[in-house]
Amino acid sequence: MQAALEPSHNQNVMSIAFARKHNISIRPHDHEKIELIQPGNGGPPVESVGMATLGWSRYVYTTGKDPLISVDCQVCDVYNESYMVFGRPFVEARGPLWAKGLQD
C-alpha cells in the first residue's frame, strides 16, 4: 500500500475504491454536516463520505516493537483505487517517531 506525501495538504485522504480494495472499514460521519475535501490537484472541493483509520509504520515489515501511527483519513468518492494522500496531520504525527528512529 502506498500513499503520496503532500505536507501542504490539510487532510489525509483516500478514495472509497482504495478503502474497498484494501478492506479498510469506512465510518460514516456521525453528523449531517458534509465535510468538504480540497483535492491536491487544485480541483473543486468534493464531499467526504466518511472516515477510515489505518495503522502506519516506518518499516514494511514490523517486529511488533515498531511504533504505529494511527492515520485518520477522509474518504471520498472521486478518486481511483490507487488514490491515497498523507497530508500535514500525518507528517506532524510521524515527525517525532522518525527523529527518535534516527537516534536508535
Closest CA to 74 of 16, 2, 12: 12
- In this predicted structure, what is the pLDDT of residue 104? 43
The total number of residues shown for the chain amounts to 104
Q: pLDDT tens digit string along 66-95?
A: 667 888 999 987 656 677 888 899 988 887
- In this predicted structure, what is the pLDDT of residue 10? 85
- In this predicted structure, what is the pLDDT of residue 8? 84
Do 87 and 6 contact (CB within 8 A), yes or no? yes
- In this predicted structure, what is the pLDDT of residue 39? 60
Block residue for cell numbers 495538504? 9
Can you give the pTM of this predicted structure?
A: 0.75
Query: How is residue 43 annotated by DSSP?
Result: -
In the chain, where the domains are located: 4-103
Do 47 and 36 contact (CB within 8 A), yes or no? yes
Q: pLDDT tens digit string along 19-72?
A: 988 899 999 887 766 667 766 656 677 788 899 998 887 666 556 666 678 889
Pick the CATH number of 4-103 from 3.40.50.10490, 3.30.300.30, 3.30.460.80, 2.40.70.10: 2.40.70.10
Closest CA to 37 of 95, 82, 89: 89
